[in-house]
Amino acid sequence: MLTLTGPALAAPTVLAVPADKPLVLDGWTRTGAASHDAWAAARADRAAWTAYAFDWSTDHCTTSPDNPFGFPFRTACARHDFGYRNHKAAGSFRAAKRRLDDAFHSDLVRVCARYASVRKASCHGTARTYYEAVRTLGIPLRRDGRST
């Protein structure tokens, strides 16, 4: 007969993901500046959001330049990645894709707002190109709604 002595082995503690995770994710992936700012603040303090198990990874603008023609699009691309990755993990990607792409465009337009005249027009044109690329090429969906 086997007898164990000493402290009992405790089962690992598994923390439940907060029930409001879908609401938080939804709030951080909207088109408005307040949504962007809330996401950016959370991104700067990721440790405070550990329980939510968000995927903060990013490849920024993937194979496109992060700062095309000197326009700083890197953060907009990171938030877009955040939305894609986390909505995909939550099973809500198909329903959210259009909004995520629109939020990306809004973020790019806010970048362009700091410029004037010809530079601003150039930025808007570049932003539109990036937006059209994600609308067309961003994680194609199969007929059943799953990403390929």
Structural contact between residues 127 and 142, judged by C-beta atoms closer than 8 angstroms: no
In the three-class reduction of DSSP (H, G, I as helix; E, B as strand; rest coil), residue 55 is classed as: coil
Dihedral angle computed from the Cα positions of residues 26, 27, 32 and 33, in that order, rounded to the nearest 10 degrees: -140
Query: What does the alpha-carbon distance between residue 15 and residue 11 come to, in Å, rounded to a whole number?
Result: 12
Half-sphere exposure of 122 (CA within 13 A, CB side): 9
| Euclidean distance between CA atoms 100 and 93, whole angstroms | 9
Catalytic, 124? Answer: no
Which of these is catalytic: 80, 87, 105, 124? 80
Catalytic residues: 80
